[in-house]
A and B are shown apart, each in its own frame.
Chain A
């Protein structure tokens, strides 16, 4: 490639220059695509590119902000999300929707339990009222079924749908009325699991509260409040 009198450049220098030229914006479509791929796959080339991006970012001051034409964001949303929902419902709007479906959710949970989809909790001889919740999909494809055992304070859950991904976790929230959601820990899909309900929450665990699941960064929301999108929710119902 050194047909431009640069034969005294070492191979190492050639590569560094090639990355610098790319970051600067030089090169044909095909040579740029070659380097873009190398940046994706080679850590040394990637860090070389980051080095130049960081230093040359000083020149970004030369770009003056120009208000984007009206309607561009709507077209982006249209392309990404289709017609389904042009403006995203807020966290609580979607929650209210699922809260409103108490009867339906209870019926879904009853059917699920009848089909033995939900693992049984230890029998509670003193109280045959059971609290169940069907956490139905709000966004994505994740849903959960939950059954609460008041005697032991154990909540049994099974989830189905796509895993949260390596950088994310699903997190379960206990929501009473308009109070701030309280975290009940992170969940996985695809296997049954038991969540031990905090002593403080056991008294409040009753018909009418809402269970919701959000997708958070791995380990759960760092702030203690839900930050990610709500993926599933449902009211707790007595059966």
Chain B
């Protein structure tokens, strides 16, 4: 059995409250997810606490996993990243990121319809090449390290507003390219 199919099956058994499957899922995926929490939190104790929280969420949310919307590892890593990033934002009081009131009500956006595509991976690689190298590097670094706008601005010694403007423009350009 291919590995994603195996993890998908384990997740569906976890949704049925199968604790043996939960253990098997942990054995298969905890190293990768610990790699995620450790990279973002840069502290073993906090990363270990985060790993516990992540697997508790996995147990609670497994029912909501939809194989047609994301690969199982993408789904698991998304839970781990979001948890670790929320923790790091809460911790670094001097480095809270930009806060604003989003007007997200009644989005009216056209739903993004594209299904999982096998060339999705190649597409992002191509689209990243269409960005200036330093901006592509910043996008990837923000994602992987969980860096905030403040940290990015400090590191690049660029005013916060400037960094934010070009990063947001990079995201819009990236989106246009990914959809093309």
* Residues of chain A whose beta carbon lies under 8 Å from any beta carbon of chain B: 1, 4-6, 9, 11-18, 20-21, 24-32, 34-36, 38, 42-45, 47-48, 50-51, 53-60, 62-69, 72-73, 75-77, 79-81, 88, 90, 139-140, 167-168, 215-217, 227-229
Contact = CB atoms under 8 A, between A and B. Distances in A.
Contacts of B56: 76, 79-80
A50 B112 contact: yes
Contact of A64 (B35, B100, B107): B35
B69 A50 contact: yes
B43 interface: no
7 contacts: A25-B40, A25-B81, A31-B98, A31-B102, A53-B78, A56-B124, A63-B77
Interface of B: 12-13, 15-20, 23, 26, 30-36, 38-40, 44, 48, 51-52, 55-56, 59, 63, 69-71, 73-74, 77-78, 81-82, 85-86, 89-90, 96-104, 107-114, 116, 120-121, 123-125, 139-140, 142-144, 146-149, 161, 164-165, 167-168, 171-172, 174-175, 178
A54 B75 CA distance: 9
Contacts of B101: 1, 31, 34
B104 A57 contact: no
A25 B90 CA distance: 13
Contacts of B78: 53, 57
Given A47-B111, A63-B144, A72 B30 contact: yes
B165 A227 contact: no
Given A26-B148, A32-B89, A80-B56, A18 B124 contact: no
A64 B33 CA distance: 9
A15 to B, nearest CB: 6
B70 A21 contact: no
A76 B35 contact: no
Contacts of A65: 31-32, 34-35
Contacts of A227: 13, 16, 18
B70 A55 contact: no
Contacts of B81: 25
B contacts with A: majority SS: helix
A44 B107 contact: yes
A60 B109 contact: no
B104 A18 contact: yes
Contacts of A26: 97-98, 142, 148-149, 167
B75 to A, nearest CB: 8
Contacts of A5: 161, 165
A contacts with B: majority SS: helix
B112 A51 contact: yes
A64 B32 CA distance: 6
A128 B149 CA distance: 80
Contacts of A63: 32, 35-36, 39, 77, 144
Contacts of A13: 172
A95 to B, nearest CB: 14
Contacts of B31: 65-68
Contact of B70 (A9, A50, A217): A50
Nearest to B116: A54
A53 B139 CA distance: 13
Contact of A38 (B102, B114, B146, B161): B102
B147 to A, nearest CB: 8
Contacts of A64: 35, 39
A76 B52 contact: yes
B104 A34 contact: yes
Given A54-B74, A140-B17, 13 more contacts: A1-B102, A5-B161, A15-B102, A16-B172, A42-B107, A43-B111, A58-B125, A63-B144, A65-B32, A68-B51, A75-B52, A217-B12, A217-B16
A16 B26 contact: no
A210 to B, nearest CB: 20
Contact of A80 (B18, B20, B59): B59
